[in-house]
């Protein structure tokens, strides 16, 4: 469902390409792990797949169309409804509660969505992730592991087709890491595509397609 054609990425023009000539296809029902050492470009690849970063060269084809050639409005719509992104570092809206952090990004400028329904769903996902008692706290009252779970709830709120998680278990204890990976894996079983970049050994225990960043 998402296809990379001749993708080349570079950090800056003088440094040359981090990787080039990458051709891959990803389908629904896949749980993909992109493994490799830090700094090798896993995050960058993930960002290119999700169209959060323009590749230096090549096309990202989603549903038959080159994403980066679509109108800004269409790209924003895809990002809102079809993709979910869990960034490597936790970025939260400081003055909002946890549940508002999960729902607000979708509510901005979108009068069609019903706040109450969204908050219900957000509450459900946060409970599944073990955060039912923190719904109304502020981000600065939660630990790193808890915030990561919030980020996952946020990415999954609209039941996106594709979920991109950048190092979701780094720096977390193994119990929390397991909760997160379980949740992501189970999500992929619902006919979704989940791509995880990680060097966490636990991830390899799942039935996954593994891509090595150094040998794309």
Partner 1 sequence: MQKLRRSIKSVNRNPIYSLFIFIPLVIISFMFFAGTVVDQSLVRGMANMEKRLGSDLMLVPAGSKEEATSTLLEGYRGTFYFSKDAYEQILNIDGIKEVTAQFYLKSLSADCCSSEVEIVFYDPESDFIIGSWINSKVTAKQDANSIIIGSQVNATNGYIKLFGKEYKVAAQMAKTGTSLDSSVYFTFDSLESVLTDAQNGGAFLTDNQKQTNLISSVFINVDDGVDLEKIIENIEDSVDEDIDIVYPKELSSSLRTNLKGIYTSTHLIFIFTGILIFFILVIVNIIIANERKREIALLRVFGVSRKNVISILNEGAVLIAIVASATGCVLANIIVVMFSNLLARNLDMPYLLPSASRIILLYIVVIAVLALITALSSLVPAIYISGLEVYKALRKEGE
Site string for partner 1, 197-216 (x = CB under 8 A): --------------------
Residue 28 as a binder of partner 1 (CB under 8 A): the answer is no
Answer yes or no: are the C-beta atoms of 171 and 93 closer than 8 Å: no
Taking CB under 8 A as the binding criterion, the range among 69-77, 117-125, 187-195, 203-211 that sits at the site for partner 1 is 69-77
Task: Please check whether residue 207 is in contact with residue 32, taking contact to mean a CB–CB distance below 8 angstroms.
Answer: no
Beta bridge partners of 211: 34
Q: Pick out residues in 41-60 that bind partner 1 (CB under 8 A).
A: 43-44, 47, 52-54
Measured from the CB of residue 75, what is the shortest distance to partner 1 in angstroms?
8
- Interface residue with partner 1 among 19, 62, 85, 187 (CB under 8 A) is 85
b/e string for 75-86 if b means 16 or more Cβ within 10 A?
beebbbebbbbb
CA–CA separation, 187 and 181 (whole Å): 10
Q: What is the secondary structure of 178-208 as a DSSP string? A: HHHHHHHHHHHTTT-EEEEE---GGGGGSS-
Helix (H, G, I), strand (E, B) or coil at 172: coil
Q: Which of 32, 60, 78, 216 binds partner 1 (CB under 8 A)?
A: 78
Q: Tell me the closest approach of the beta carbon of residue 112 to partner 1, in angstroms.
A: 13
Please tell me whether residue 125 binds partner 1 under the rule CB under 8 A.
no
The tokens for 14 are 């003088």
CB of 87 or CB of 123, closer to partner 1 = 87
User: Cβ 78 to partner 1, closest distance in Å?
Assistant: 7
| 63 scored as a contact of partner 1 (CB under 8 A) | no
Report the candidate in 80, 73, 11, 15 with the shortest Cα–Cα distance to residue 50: 80
Binder to partner 1 among 8, 57, 61, 105 (CB under 8 A)?
Answer: 105
Q: Which residues bind partner 1 (CB under 8 A)?
A: 43-44, 47, 52-54, 72-73, 75-81, 85, 87-89, 91-96, 105-109, 154
């Amino acid at each position: 469902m998402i296809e990379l054609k001749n993708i080349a990425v570079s950090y800056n023009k003088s440094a040359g390409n981090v990787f080039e000539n990458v051709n891959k296809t990803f389908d629904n029902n896949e749980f993909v792990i992109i493994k490799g050492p830090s700094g090798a470009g896993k995050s960058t690849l993930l960002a290119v797949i999700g169209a959060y970063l323009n590749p230096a060269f090549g096309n990202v084809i989603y549903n038959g169309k080159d994403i980066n050639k679509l109108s800004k409005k269409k790209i924003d719509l895809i990002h809102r409804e079809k993709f979910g992104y869990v960034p490597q570092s936790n970025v939260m809206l400081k003055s909002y509660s946890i549940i508002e952090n999960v729902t607000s990004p979708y509510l901005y400028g979108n009068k069609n969505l019903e706040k109450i329904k969204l908050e219900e769903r957000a509450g459900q996902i946060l409970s599944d992730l073990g955060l039912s008692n923190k719904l109304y706290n502020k981000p600065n009252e939660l630990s790193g592991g808890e915030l990561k779970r919030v980020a996952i709830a946020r990415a999954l709120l609209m039941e996106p087709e594709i979920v991109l998680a950048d190092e979701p278990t780094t720096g977390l204890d193994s119990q929390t890491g397991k909760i997160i990976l379980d949740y992501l894996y189970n999500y992929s079983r619902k006919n979704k595509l989940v791509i995880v970049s990680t060097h966490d050994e636990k991830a390899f225990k799942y039935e996954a397609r593994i891509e090595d960043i150094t040998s794309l």
